[in-house]
Protein backbone atom coordinates (compact mmCIF):
# COMPACT_ATOMS: atom_id res chain seq x y z
CA UNK A 1 0.00 0.00 0.00
CA UNK A 2 1.19 3.49 -0.78
CA UNK A 3 1.57 6.19 1.76
CA UNK A 4 -1.46 8.26 2.58
CA UNK A 5 -0.71 11.88 1.66
CA UNK A 6 -1.46 14.19 4.54
CA UNK A 7 -2.97 17.63 3.78
CA UNK A 8 -2.15 20.89 5.46
CA UNK A 9 -3.29 21.28 8.99
CA UNK A 10 -5.36 24.26 10.02
CA UNK A 11 -2.37 25.73 11.86
CA UNK A 12 -0.21 25.44 8.75
CA UNK A 13 -2.85 27.14 6.62
CA UNK A 14 -3.16 29.97 9.13
CA UNK A 15 0.61 30.42 9.13
CA UNK A 16 0.70 30.61 5.32
CA UNK A 17 -2.17 33.11 5.27
CA UNK A 18 -0.43 35.21 7.92
CA UNK A 19 2.81 35.23 5.91
CA UNK A 20 0.94 36.29 2.76
CA UNK A 21 -0.82 39.06 4.70
CA UNK A 22 2.49 40.32 6.10
CA UNK A 23 4.10 40.34 2.64
CA UNK A 24 1.10 42.16 1.18
CA UNK A 25 1.27 44.78 3.95
CA UNK A 26 4.96 45.29 3.22
CA UNK A 27 4.73 45.36 -0.57
CA UNK A 28 1.49 47.30 -1.09
CA UNK A 29 2.97 50.68 -0.05
CA UNK A 30 5.94 49.95 -2.32
CA UNK A 31 3.61 49.33 -5.26
CA UNK A 32 1.71 52.54 -4.48
CA UNK A 33 4.95 54.52 -4.33
CA UNK A 34 6.09 53.02 -7.61
CA UNK A 35 2.76 53.88 -9.25
CA UNK A 36 2.90 57.46 -7.96
CA UNK A 37 6.50 57.78 -9.10
CA UNK A 38 5.46 56.73 -12.60
CA UNK A 39 2.63 59.28 -12.56
CA UNK A 40 5.01 61.98 -11.40
CA UNK A 41 7.42 61.10 -14.20
CA UNK A 42 4.54 61.62 -16.64
CA UNK A 43 3.69 64.88 -14.92
CA UNK A 44 7.24 66.22 -15.30
CA UNK A 45 7.33 65.03 -18.91
CA UNK A 46 4.07 66.88 -19.64
CA UNK A 47 5.48 70.13 -18.29
CA UNK A 48 8.74 69.73 -20.21
CA UNK A 49 6.77 69.19 -23.43
CA UNK A 50 4.74 72.32 -22.72
CA UNK A 51 7.97 74.23 -22.00
CA UNK A 52 9.30 73.25 -25.41
CA UNK A 53 5.99 74.25 -27.01
CA UNK A 54 6.20 77.65 -25.28
CA UNK A 55 9.72 78.18 -26.55
CA UNK A 56 8.67 77.27 -30.09
CA UNK A 57 5.71 79.64 -29.83
CA UNK A 58 8.05 82.42 -28.70
CA UNK A 59 10.42 81.72 -31.59
CA UNK A 60 7.53 82.35 -33.98
CA UNK A 61 6.20 85.43 -32.14
CA UNK A 62 9.14 87.82 -31.76
CA UNK A 63 10.53 86.07 -28.66
CA UNK A 64 7.22 86.50 -26.80
CA UNK A 65 5.04 83.98 -24.97
CA UNK A 66 1.21 84.23 -25.04
CA UNK A 67 0.16 87.58 -23.61
CA UNK A 68 -3.00 89.56 -22.91
CA UNK A 69 -4.04 92.15 -25.46
CA UNK A 70 -3.15 90.02 -28.46
CA UNK A 71 -5.38 88.50 -31.15
CA UNK A 72 -8.91 89.62 -30.22
CA UNK A 73 -7.68 91.83 -27.37
CA UNK A 74 -8.33 91.71 -23.64
CA UNK A 75 -7.34 88.88 -21.34
CA UNK A 76 -6.37 86.55 -24.14
CA UNK A 77 -3.16 84.95 -22.89
CA UNK A 78 -4.20 84.01 -19.37
CA UNK A 79 -7.35 82.09 -20.29
CA UNK A 80 -6.56 80.64 -23.73
CA UNK A 81 -2.81 80.01 -23.58
CA UNK A 82 -3.18 76.17 -23.83
CA UNK A 83 -4.94 76.58 -27.17
CA UNK A 84 -2.45 79.16 -28.46
CA UNK A 85 0.44 76.71 -28.10
CA UNK A 86 -1.64 73.80 -29.44
CA UNK A 87 0.09 73.78 -32.86
CA UNK A 88 3.42 73.02 -31.18
CA UNK A 89 2.27 69.94 -29.23
CA UNK A 90 -0.49 68.80 -31.62
CA UNK A 91 -2.73 68.56 -28.60
CA UNK A 92 -5.17 70.76 -26.67
CA UNK A 93 -6.91 70.41 -23.32
CA UNK A 94 -9.95 68.15 -23.80
CA UNK A 95 -13.46 69.43 -23.27
CA UNK A 96 -14.86 68.67 -19.82
CA UNK A 97 -17.39 66.32 -21.40
CA UNK A 98 -14.59 63.81 -21.99
CA UNK A 99 -12.03 62.29 -19.64
CA UNK A 100 -8.96 64.28 -18.52
CA UNK A 101 -5.95 63.31 -20.59
CA UNK A 102 -3.01 64.56 -22.60
CA UNK A 103 -0.16 66.96 -21.98
CA UNK A 104 -2.31 69.41 -20.00
CA UNK A 105 -3.43 67.01 -17.28
CA UNK A 106 -1.38 65.66 -14.36
CA UNK A 107 -2.22 62.01 -13.63
CA UNK A 108 -1.71 62.85 -9.94
CA UNK A 109 -4.57 65.35 -9.86
CA UNK A 110 -8.09 64.50 -8.64
CA UNK A 111 -10.89 64.41 -11.18
CA UNK A 112 -13.89 66.72 -11.08
CA UNK A 113 -12.16 70.10 -11.28
CA UNK A 114 -12.29 71.42 -14.86
CA UNK A 115 -11.36 74.94 -15.90
CA UNK A 116 -14.48 77.07 -16.39
CA UNK A 117 -14.62 80.10 -18.69
CA UNK A 118 -17.85 81.98 -18.07
CA UNK A 119 -19.49 85.19 -19.28
CA UNK A 120 -17.35 87.31 -21.57
CA UNK A 121 -14.47 84.84 -21.30
CA UNK A 122 -16.61 82.30 -23.13
CA UNK A 123 -18.37 84.71 -25.49
CA UNK A 124 -15.06 86.16 -26.67
CA UNK A 125 -14.07 82.89 -28.35
CA UNK A 126 -17.48 81.38 -29.16
CA UNK A 127 -18.32 79.94 -31.60
CA UNK A 128 -14.87 80.28 -33.09
CA UNK A 129 -12.15 79.51 -32.34
CA UNK A 130 -13.64 77.57 -29.38
CA UNK A 131 -15.35 74.97 -31.55
CA UNK A 132 -12.20 74.38 -33.57
CA UNK A 133 -10.43 73.85 -30.23
CA UNK A 134 -12.87 71.01 -29.51
CA UNK A 135 -14.92 72.84 -26.87
CA UNK A 136 -18.68 72.77 -26.48
CA UNK A 137 -21.07 75.21 -24.82
CA UNK A 138 -22.38 74.44 -21.32
CA UNK A 139 -24.65 77.46 -20.91
CA UNK A 140 -26.37 79.11 -23.84
CA UNK A 141 -26.62 78.20 -27.47
CA UNK A 142 -26.29 79.34 -31.05
CA UNK A 143 -23.83 82.18 -31.26
CA UNK A 144 -24.25 83.13 -27.58
CA UNK A 145 -22.37 80.90 -25.15
CA UNK A 146 -21.89 81.80 -21.50
CA UNK A 147 -19.79 78.90 -20.28
CA UNK A 148 -16.97 76.72 -21.59
CA UNK A 149 -15.15 73.98 -19.67
CA UNK A 150 -11.91 72.15 -20.32
CA UNK A 151 -9.42 69.99 -18.45
CA UNK A 152 -6.01 71.23 -17.36
CA UNK A 153 -4.04 71.19 -14.12
CA UNK A 154 -1.40 73.67 -15.26
CA UNK A 155 -1.46 77.44 -14.78
CA UNK A 156 0.62 80.03 -16.59
CA UNK A 157 2.53 82.61 -14.56
CA UNK A 158 0.20 85.62 -14.76
CA UNK A 159 3.15 88.03 -14.86
CA UNK A 160 4.03 86.55 -18.26
CA UNK A 161 0.69 87.36 -19.82
CA UNK A 162 0.18 90.83 -18.34
CA UNK A 163 3.65 92.32 -18.81
CA UNK A 164 3.32 95.86 -20.25
CA UNK A 165 4.11 95.70 -23.94
CA UNK A 166 4.26 91.92 -23.86
CA UNK A 167 6.89 89.50 -22.59
CA UNK A 168 10.27 89.32 -24.30
CA UNK A 169 11.93 86.14 -23.02
CA UNK A 170 15.47 87.45 -23.35
CA UNK A 171 14.69 90.23 -20.86
CA UNK A 172 14.35 87.82 -17.94
CA UNK A 173 17.26 88.04 -15.53
CA UNK A 174 17.05 84.46 -14.24
CA UNK A 175 15.13 82.22 -16.68
CA UNK A 176 16.32 79.03 -14.92
CA UNK A 177 14.61 80.28 -11.73
CA UNK A 178 11.58 81.92 -13.37
CA UNK A 179 8.20 80.21 -13.39
CA UNK A 180 6.46 79.45 -16.66
CA UNK A 181 3.80 76.93 -15.55
CA UNK A 182 2.74 75.70 -12.10
CA UNK A 183 0.26 73.03 -11.03
CA UNK A 184 -2.86 74.85 -9.88
CA UNK A 185 -6.64 74.91 -10.11
CA UNK A 186 -6.86 77.96 -12.38
CA UNK A 187 -5.57 78.72 -15.88
CA UNK A 188 -3.30 81.48 -14.54
CA UNK A 189 -1.70 82.16 -11.18
CA UNK A 190 0.45 84.74 -9.42
CA UNK A 191 1.86 85.17 -5.94
CA UNK A 192 -1.37 86.37 -4.33
CA UNK A 193 -3.29 83.26 -5.51
CA UNK A 194 -1.14 80.49 -4.05
CA UNK A 195 -4.08 78.86 -2.28
CA UNK A 196 -4.83 77.45 -5.75
CA UNK A 197 -1.68 75.31 -5.88
CA UNK A 198 -2.12 71.54 -6.02
CA UNK A 199 -0.26 70.89 -2.77
CA UNK A 200 -2.62 71.61 0.14
CA UNK A 201 -4.21 68.64 1.93
CA UNK A 202 -6.17 70.55 4.61
CA UNK A 203 -9.48 72.41 4.44
CA UNK A 204 -9.01 75.95 5.73
CA UNK A 205 -12.06 77.56 7.31
CA UNK A 206 -10.13 80.81 7.91
CA UNK A 207 -9.71 81.60 4.22
CA UNK A 208 -11.21 84.94 3.17
CA UNK A 209 -12.17 83.44 -0.20
CA UNK A 210 -14.57 80.54 0.47
CA UNK A 211 -14.12 79.25 -3.08
CA UNK A 212 -10.50 78.40 -2.23
CA UNK A 213 -11.02 77.32 1.39
CA UNK A 214 -11.24 73.64 0.53
CA UNK A 215 -8.08 71.64 -0.04
CA UNK A 216 -6.99 71.08 -3.61
CA UNK A 217 -5.84 67.56 -2.61
CA UNK A 218 -3.67 67.21 -5.64
CA UNK A 219 -1.77 64.18 -4.43
CA UNK A 220 1.56 65.90 -4.93
CA UNK A 221 3.23 64.98 -1.63
CA UNK A 222 3.04 68.50 -0.28
CA UNK A 223 4.66 70.17 -3.24
CA UNK A 224 4.19 71.27 -6.83
CA UNK A 225 5.93 70.56 -10.11
CA UNK A 226 7.03 73.73 -11.87
CA UNK A 227 8.10 74.37 -15.44
CA UNK A 228 10.74 77.09 -15.77
CA UNK A 229 11.38 79.49 -18.63
CA UNK A 230 14.68 77.89 -19.58
CA UNK A 231 12.83 74.65 -20.43
CA UNK A 232 13.36 72.41 -17.39
CA UNK A 233 10.72 71.16 -14.95
CA UNK A 234 11.02 69.77 -11.44
CA UNK A 235 9.08 69.10 -8.25
CA UNK A 236 9.61 71.47 -5.33
CA UNK A 237 8.38 71.12 -1.77
CA UNK A 238 5.89 73.82 -0.78
CA UNK A 239 7.18 75.95 2.09
CA UNK A 240 4.19 77.19 4.09
CA UNK A 241 3.83 80.33 6.20
CA UNK A 242 3.66 80.41 10.03
CA UNK A 243 0.14 78.93 10.10
CA UNK A 244 1.09 75.95 7.97
CA UNK A 245 -1.24 74.91 5.16
CA UNK A 246 -3.90 77.34 6.39
CA UNK A 247 -1.64 80.38 6.39
CA UNK A 248 -3.12 83.54 4.92
CA UNK A 249 -1.27 86.51 3.53
CA UNK A 250 -1.44 89.63 5.69
CA UNK A 251 -0.06 91.35 8.76
CA UNK A 252 3.49 90.33 7.94
CA UNK A 253 2.48 86.65 7.82
CA UNK A 254 3.13 85.23 4.33
CA UNK A 255 0.91 82.63 2.75
CA UNK A 256 3.92 80.73 1.40
CA UNK A 257 7.67 81.09 1.50
CA UNK A 258 8.00 78.97 -1.65
CA UNK A 259 6.68 79.65 -4.17
CA UNK A 260 7.01 83.17 -2.79
CA UNK A 261 3.88 85.08 -1.83
CA UNK A 262 3.56 88.44 -3.60
CA UNK A 263 1.07 91.20 -4.12
CA UNK A 264 -0.87 91.14 -7.37
CA UNK A 265 -0.30 93.52 -10.26
CA UNK A 266 2.53 94.86 -12.37
CA UNK A 267 4.39 96.50 -9.47
CA UNK A 268 5.67 93.11 -8.26
CA UNK A 269 9.42 92.52 -8.50
CA UNK A 270 10.09 89.02 -7.16
CA UNK A 271 12.45 86.33 -8.45
CA UNK A 272 10.50 83.46 -9.92
CA UNK A 273 7.53 85.55 -10.91
CA UNK A 274 8.87 88.57 -12.79
CA UNK A 275 11.69 89.33 -15.27
CA UNK A 276 13.15 92.00 -13.00
CA UNK A 277 13.32 91.51 -9.25
CA UNK A 278 14.78 92.86 -6.04
CA UNK A 279 17.47 90.68 -4.49
User: pLDDT of 20-32, one tens digit each?
Assistant: 888 777 776 766 6
Given this model, what pLDDT does residue 126 score? 94
Answer yes or no: is 190 within a domain.
yes
Higher-confidence position of 35 and 269: 269
Whole-Å CA distances, 38 to 11, 26, 48, 193, 224: 40, 20, 15, 29, 16
Answer yes or no: is 269 within a domain.
no
Contact 230, 175 (CB under 8 A): yes
**How far apart are alpha carbons 55 and 53 in whole angstroms?**
5
Higher-confidence position of 245 and 41: 41
Answer yes or no: is 252 within a domain.
yes
**How far apart are alpha carbons 249 and 13 in whole angstroms?**
59
Total domain count, the chain: 1
The model's confidence at residue 47, banded by pLDDT at 50, 70 and 90, is: very high
- Residue 270 clears pLDDT 80, i.e. is over it: yes
Answer yes or no: is 131 within a domain.
no
Answer yes or no: is 225 within a domain.
yes
Q: Which helix (H) or strand (E) holds 17?
A: helix 10-60
Tens digit of pLDDT for each residue in 125-149?
999 999 999 999 999 878 899 999 9
- pTM for the model stands at 0.82
What three-state secondary structure class fits 257?
A: strand
Answer yes or no: is 112 within a domain.
no
Instruction: Give the rounded percent of residues in the chain with a pLDDT score beyond 70.
Output: 81
Tens digit of pLDDT for each residue in 210-268?
555 555 666 567 788 999 999 999 988 888 777 777 766 655 556 677 888 887 777 88
Residue range(s) defining the domain that contains residue 225: 41-67+154-258
Answer yes or no: is 55 within a domain.
yes
93-105 in b/e burial notation, b at 16+ Cβ within 10 A? bbbbeeebebbbb
**How far apart are alpha carbons 16 and 243 in whole angstroms?**
49
Answer yes or no: is 24 within a domain.
no
Contact 243, 251 (CB under 8 A): no
Tens digit of pLDDT for each residue in 64-105?
888 876 554 567 788 899 999 999 988 889 999 998 888 898
Nearest to 220 by CA among 115, 112, 113, 107: 107
Beta bridge partners, 253, equal 250
Given this model, what pLDDT does residue 93 score? 92
Given this model, what pLDDT does residue 39 score? 85
Amino acid sequence: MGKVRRGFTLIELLVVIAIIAILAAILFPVFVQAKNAAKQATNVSNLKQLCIAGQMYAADHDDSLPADGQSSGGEWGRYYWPFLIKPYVKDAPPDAGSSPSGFYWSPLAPFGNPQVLSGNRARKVWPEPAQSWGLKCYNGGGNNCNELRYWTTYSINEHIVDMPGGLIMTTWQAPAESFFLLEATDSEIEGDELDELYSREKDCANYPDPDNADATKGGHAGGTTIAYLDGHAKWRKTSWGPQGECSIDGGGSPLLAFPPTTDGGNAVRVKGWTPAFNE
